[in-house]
Structure 1
């Protein structure tokens, strides 16, 4: 809380920070308490005189009392942490309730303002996505409280790391007022973020779909790609949507070849793209190009969404698993996709090549992701080139390195997104 001449202003984010610090201290003390309780010293350690046994008992009594005091302090810190997180969540719920009351007083379709309408996320926006962003802030705040409590009881190193990554993501979302369109922390988590603004003057919107191992704890790496692409446009005409609103395979060897994950996500992706088109039309007008970018398994998901009539102008397959289960030629796509521009890039010796177009005889089993995007008729194959340091992109590491800013592959992604000249496979510029 901060003081003022008229009273106090509560800052839930600060309460969250203090709660986190308190939890950390409790964890440190708990570790010390466990060490103290586990400390056993035999009587012989005090020598072999007659007083050795008495000294050992005195030591044991001292350590027991110290352990009990430490346990008491840990309990008090945990109670304080729980109280702080509960207070923060309570203040956020109250804020949301007040905001909802004010929103209820506003008309659903307010009178048009002079000049251009507000973009999504703007202060005057009262559309469905603006409401979703506000509602999801409350959900993220609740998830932050729950995740901090969960972290305090974890012992597995991997789970601890993933929990801390989630906490950092949630804190960043709240601190930076990030625009979260969909949010569900259950399981591995589902989330969609709008980076930038869709507003009058916007000309390019990207829809990025990640691949295998996507989960809430690593979502920010993909959101970072979105931020880099938006920031690269000096005119501010570009926005990105990072879509992870599905259950993704978590093992590239065991689950990666399975088409069922993409088959489940593809209809949802198509529906979301329809909603995105509507928001673009409402806030930016008709002169906007929408590009779907699928990375790895995300490429196969985008490809399958095309079979459902994915409403985009361009599709870019980046280290893509395939054109989509059952898609082997343009005739396998509906007529609505005839005008879509398609691009693909795959770095040399990326193991994803094993999946590309190599499951023709197995697709009846639910395995495989259709044709190789690099050789699919009508697809423009792009160069992946070198990374920011000048090293050639190739092999296993290239699978994700192609997304890093400063690389030639990233530059090609940006140019597809913004309609600029691209570098073709082999080095020619077009």
Structure 2
């Protein structure tokens, strides 16, 4: 099959399956709608009309239920077919990769990489300095925990302590660190060194804080571990003040406005570190999840220096970004991708604030339909269940899911 025919088939099947699902919901709503007993009045002549209406609606309801059942069957078949296409595609790709294995990079103490024995650069100094800061924060947090009485605060404090202990025990590469408030942090997972080919810059979303940072760092670890050649690295960037609560603060663009300049400056630093440690032939991909997508989008308006952008369950293209003309010329060559699971509530934020952005609310256009953006399916999780609804918002980041596989594919060269 050609690329134009074969590779787009799963996405088209998913789209049709989604349409069938919407029609099933509409039919079910009609069947479930009831007419009140008083609708025909209280006169005796209305009784016959009411009985006739009830009989007619019962017959129609049965027919609608039969049509809905057929649509559900077709929907299940389409979803299964799409999954089959992707499994076959992945198997063929794996066969070709097995025929052309890459030589793994040597791991001799990472002497030429960031933070290695021979590295005297700015980030090496930052990693060493942040190790001291984390140790101090651990001591302070243990003292703070002893005085806490609120259950939620105790849980968050323990989570912070667990993070600090793990950073120190495993000599993790912390590039930015500030424990004040909800905390700010950025971590390099993997190595940026001669031979590195792909670097990801992951930006999480609403509710991000030190207490849950390890969940996002785990995504970085899974993506790096998936490349057996060791040529992929990921920076997990949470060096900002994130909104807490999707309803209370999530629609507010001020957080993204404040983070975007810092993210742009960090990406510039990252480009410099990549150039000095790995050379020019490295692809940098920004991955924005949820509110992080809107933050990446606003950073693009400032000239975010990346080769690819991937929106994952993204809140939008960025406050005020409604068309490619809203982006500077520097972004003309950026490849963009987007994925949103069916019925993820984030769709309420995507492209729905037109006319309201003057109030500071909203995150621009829907990335899934933005011109030039390649749409990717979220598919199924590791157990083979479709990703949809509220839980899909974070489940798309879990290893083993088709969505995670698409994230990895974009990071390492685009969908195959």
One fold, TM greater than 0.5? yes
3-state SS of the aligned residue for 1:123? coil
Provide structure 1 residue ranges, at least 5 long, that are not aligned to the other structure: 1-115, 423-429
2:111–2:117 CA contact under 8 A, matched in 1: no
Q: Aligned residue pairs: how many?
A: 307
User: Is the 8 Å Cα contact of residues 175 and 188 (structure 2) preserved in structure 1?
Assistant: yes
Partner of 1:136: 130
How many angstroms apart in 1 are the aligned matches of 2:228 and 2:342?
32
Q: How does 1:28-43 map to 2 (within 5 A)?
A: none
Structure 1 pair 117–284 and aligned structure 2 pair: CA distance change class (3 A): farther
Partner residue, 2:339: 345
SS in 1 for 2:249: coil
Aligned to 1:378: 372
**Aligned equivalents of 1:254, 1:168: Cα separation in 2:** 28
Residue among 153, 159, 170 paired with 2:147: 153
Q: Distance in 1 between matches of 2:229 and 2:112?
A: 18
Larger radius of gyration: 1
Q: Distance in 2 between matches of 1:267 and 1:395?
A: 33
Q: Look up the match of 1:178.
A: 172
The equivalent of 1:196 in structure 2 is 190
Query: C-alpha displacement at 1:117, in angstroms?
Result: 7.1
Structure 2, gaps ≥5 residues long: 1-109
8 Å CA contact 1:292–1:314 kept in 2: the answer is yes
Contact preservation (8 Å) 2:349, 2:362? yes
* CA distance in 2: counterparts of 1:205 and 1:406, whole angstroms: 21
Deviation per residue, 1:181-204 (Å, 9 max, x gap): 000000000000000010000000
Aligned ranges for residues 176-325 of structure 1 at < 5 Å?
176-325=170-319
Corresponding residue of 1:404: 398
Structure 1 residue 417 corresponds to structure 2 residue 407: no
Instruction: Give SS of 1:360's match.
Output: coil
Q: Which structure 2 residues correspond to residues 327-338 of structure 1 after superposition, within 5 A? A: 327-338=321-332
Answering whether residue 340 of structure 2 is matched by residue 358 of structure 1, we say: no
By relative contact order (CA 8 Å, sep 6+), the higher-ranking structure is: 2
What is the distance in 2 between the residues matched to 1:137 and 1:310? 28
Asked whether 1:394 is paired with 2:388, we answer yes
**Which of 118, 122, 130 is matched with 1:124 structurally?**
118
Partner of 1:98: none
Q: Give per-residue Cα distances to partners, 1:165-192, cap 9 Å, x unaligned.
A: 0000000000000000000000000000
TM-align CA RMSD = 0.9
When normalised by structure 1's length, the TM-score is 0.71
Once the two structures are TM-superposed, the CA of residue 124 in structure 1 deviates from its matched residue by: 1.5
Q: Deviations over 1:58-100 (max 9, x none)?
A: xxxxxxxxxxxxxxxxxxxxxxxxxxxxxxxxxxxxxxxxxxx
Contact 2:202 2:287 in 1 (8 A): yes
Quote the Cα distance in structure 2 between the aligned partners of 1:175 and 1:125: 21
- Secondary structure of 2:234 counterpart: strand
TM-score scaled by structure 2? 0.73
